[in-house]
């Protein structure tokens, strides 16, 4: 069962609908206990980075940290990806998970913001389980005002007022800046890849530093 984490940020219906479409068994939940028992976790997100502070207050953050340390596959979407970094300019006082280094920054004034619409994935030449079967140059739907810098674990980039991370992947941890649930067949392919991951796969648990895990 896949837990779609409800932290009162935007619309989860469309993520659930897309998971139904690819045949995955999922539940929308705000209950840390259910998140702890899930085989996989999806953290959707639209809206403001500060909404992620609710994850800490509600005990969902601890449940998520605990699960990913046990090797449970985790997918962050949009703000869900941004939260996997250390912080965001959008809400400097709200800490992210700190799985990956760096800060989410605003788009430069040279381009319209938010970045809304269909833009291309440029795949790096790296093995990826999430974008398997998705050709480089495929269009996916973005809507965001802050972006994740290029990281060592970036597997797909996008260009808009500079290059940024569109897909990040490390072992069983995945983050996408765009909305796979709104990206037509390409998005459904990506979600199907995530849902098809073996949950019993041996993987090195990610050890969060004490500072980051707070």
The catalytic residue positions are 78, 179, 181
Contacts of 119 (CB under 8 A, 6+ apart): 139, 140, 142, 158, 159, 160, 178
How many chain residues touch another protein (CB under 8 A)?
Answer: 35
The verdict on 47 binding another protein (CB under 8 A) reads yes
The verdict on 21 binding another protein (CB under 8 A) reads yes
DSSP-based helix, strand, coil % in the chain, nearest 5: 25, 25, 45
Question: Which parts of the chain fold into alpha helices (H)?
Answer: 13-21, 32-37, 53-57, 60-69, 79-82, 184-195, 210-213
Q: Which of residues 165-204 bind another protein (CB under 8 A)?
A: 179, 181-185, 187-188
Helix (H, G, I), strand (E, B), or coil: what is residue 128? Answer: coil
Binding map of another protein across residues 102-141, x = CB under 8 A, - = no contact: ----------xxxxxxxxx------------------x-x
The verdict on 53 binding another protein (CB under 8 A) reads no
**Lookup: tokens for 65:** 């940290």
The verdict on 90 binding another protein (CB under 8 A) reads no
Residues near another protein (CB under 8 A): 9-11, 13-14, 17-18, 21, 46-48, 112-120, 139, 141, 143-145, 159-160, 179, 181-185, 187-188
């Amino acid at each position: 069962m896949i837990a779609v984490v409800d932290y009162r940020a935007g619309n989860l219906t469309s993520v659930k609908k897309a998971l139904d479409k690819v045949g995955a068994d999922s539940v929308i939940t705000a209950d840390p206990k259910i998140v702890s028992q899930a085989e996989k976790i999806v953290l959707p997100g639209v809206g403001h980075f500060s909404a992620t502070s609710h994850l800490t207050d509600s005990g969902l953050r601890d449940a998520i940290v605990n699960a990913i340390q046990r090797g449970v596959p985790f997918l962050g979407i949009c703000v869900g990806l941004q939260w996997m970094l250390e912080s965001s300019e959008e809400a400097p006082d709200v800490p992210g998970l700190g799985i990956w280094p760096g800060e989410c920054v605003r788009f430069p004034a040279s381009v319209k913001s938010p970045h809304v619409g269909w833009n291309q994935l440029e795949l790096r030449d790296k093995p990826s389980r999430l974008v398997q079967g998705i050709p480089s140059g495929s269009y996916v739907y973005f809507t965001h005002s802050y972006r994740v810098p290029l990281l060592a674990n970036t597997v797909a980039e996008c260009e808009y007022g500079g290059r940024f991370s569109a897909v990040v992947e490390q072992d069983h941890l995945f983050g996408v800046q765009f909305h796979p649930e709104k990206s037509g067949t390409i998005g459904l392919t990506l979600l199907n890849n995530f849902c098809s991951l073996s949950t019993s796969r041996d993987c090195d648990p990610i050890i969060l530093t004490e500072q980051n895990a707070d």
